[in-house]
């Protein structure tokens, strides 16, 4: 949970899976976090999160998974499935 944003080389995530393995990723939707930080006047943190190597959006994560030959199996905004402004996302993907 919430590790991928701390990785310098997230493109190597496939190497830890067994053949036909499934990857499950929970990550912050950094675009929404940025908006929330701006609303709460946290300007410095909105521009840069010192704990994260990379900022992720659901589309960024889909692109990474596709580039690494994964097939998206599951995607949800959490905690609210129907609300696109959820702060976190969960995705599951299978190796193609």
Q: Give the three-state DSSP class for 93.
A: strand
Residue 96 lies in a domain: no
Residue 31 lies in a domain: yes
pLDDT at 85 over 90: no
Residue 47 lies in a domain: yes
Residue 18 lies in a domain: no
Q: Give the three-state DSSP class for 37.
A: helix
Determine the structural domain holding residue 71 and report its residue range.
Answer: 4-13+27-90
Reported pTM? 0.78
Sign of CA dihedral 72, 76, 77, 81: positive
Residue 44 lies in a domain: yes
| pLDDT tens digits for range 22-48 | 999 998 887 766 777 777 777 777 676
Instruction: Domain count for the chain, please give it.
Output: 1
């Amino acid at each position: 949970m919430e590790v991928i944003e701390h990785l310098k080389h997230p493109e190597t995530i496939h190497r830890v899976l067994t053949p036909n393995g499934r990857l499950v990723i929970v990550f912050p939707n950094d675009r929404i976090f940025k908006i929330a930080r701006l609303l709460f006047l946290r300007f410095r943190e909105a521009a840069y999160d010192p704990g994260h190597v990379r900022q992720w959006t659901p589309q960024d994560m889909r692109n990474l998974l596709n580039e690494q030959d994964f097939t998206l199996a599951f995607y949800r905004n959490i905690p609210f499935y129907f609300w696109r402004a959820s702060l976190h996302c969960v995705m599951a993907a299978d190796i193609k």
